[in-house]
Amino acid sequence: MASASNPNGDNAFGYPMCIGVVGPPEPAVSGVVRFGAALTESLRALGYGVDTVELTDELCASGPARQVPIGESVASIAAQLNRCDAVVIQHGYGIYGGTHGDDVLSIIAAVRVPTIAVAHQVLDNPDPHQRWVLERLVASTDRVVVMSRAAHERLCRDYGVDRAKVVTIPHGGAPSSGPRPKRPSRPTILTWGLLGPGKGVERVIDAMESLKNVPGRPRYVVVGQTNPAEVSVHGEAYRDARVEQARQCGVADSVSFDARSYSRAMLTELIQSAAVVVLPYDSTDHVNSAILAEAIANGRPVVATAFPHAVELLSSGAGIVVDHDDPDAMAAALRRVLTQPRLAGEMAAEARRLAPEMAWSTVARAYGALAQRLAS
């Protein structure tokens, strides 16, 4: 097979190396879907052949990917993947069928070519079955990719995984190649992604009341559909409660919700136009945040609660980390970014310094090199 330095993905026989990519279909967990699509596109741009399999509950073929139900035939899915030189399998609890997504383990067991698991979640306090699923995933694959040092340490320390089996490759981001869009008349504080309890939007709405006197009258824009799992149980209760919260706080004219679905280009323009990206999550467990990666890749200052990936990635100055239970600190951090242009510029410059190692082209090259090493 090709050496890791081969930029074109060719194998020893002179044809492009084929990498299988397994993940959920749209409209499943959108961050994982976007990850798979971006990785596939970037691998192809490097010259790799990519065979994409989207595992669904119903047979549904559309586009370049083959969408199949796991129960259709483990053997037929494995046969398709075994025609590849290596297979990348995304993992997250709930993105496949079974209990905590354990149906995918039967596919992995039938794959005979080298396998790379991508662990989107490494829980600090899993329940017994969640732990079992991740332990089986690790045992059944040749390498496990995590996206932060925190995830690497947790997987090795808490799950007893051999450090030699774990590879850290940053989550990719899609930086804009053009000039930054014109800034809106009002500075934008931006949160995006699937909306629901745990997103922490209420923290920022509370902070907006103390930011009324900031020059330019900043506005808080929340972009994203409500998480389908949340909608199925509670409808739009969380979104409606946040709209009511903004009204009661007297900041309804400075808080807006946008439930549209954005293309990658539209999302990039939105991020680029923001004065600051805020990640006010409830969780203290996140070791991987796609939204954080996108914000840094686009060179934007960040304010975040102290979840592990934010603490790690923002430690060199690209953002400000605040305690989860300190609303005054959240408001003060946003005020500093919005009123101190020099500080905001330094944060943006540090984000731009970090961005190249998180560009999808760089990330895909690392996956390709890993696949080549395993397949050689």
Which domains occur in the chain, in start order? 18-172+359-375 (3.40.50.2000), 188-357 (3.40.50.2000)
Q: What is the distance between the alpha carbons of residues 242 and 112, in angstroms, rounded to a whole number?
A: 49
On average, the pLDDT of the chain sits at 90
Burial track 60-93 (b if 16+ CB lie within 10 A, e otherwise): eeeeebbbbebeeebeebbebbeebbbbbbbbbb
The per-residue pLDDT for 58 is 44
CB 265 within 8 A of CB 289: no
pLDDT above 50 (res 300): yes
**Prediction pTM value:** 0.90
CA distances from 295 to 192, 274, 320, 325, 351 (A): 10, 10, 13, 23, 8
CA distances from 170 to 37, 176, 259, 354 (A): 16, 18, 28, 11
CA 195, 39, 70: angle at the middle one, nearest 5?
75
DSSP designation for 3: -
Query: Angle at which helices 327-339 and 341-354 pack, to 10 degrees?
Result: 90
The per-residue pLDDT for 10 is 62
**Number of other CB atoms surrounding residue 266 within 10 Å:** 12
Q: What is the distance between the alpha carbons of residues 213 and 77, in angstroms, rounded to a whole number?
A: 59
pLDDT tens figures, 18-61: 999 999 876 544 688 889 999 999 999 999 999 999 887 543 33
pLDDT tens figures, 189-202: 999 999 999 999 99
pLDDT above 50 (res 314): yes
pLDDT band at 62 (very low <50, low <70, confident <90, very high): very low
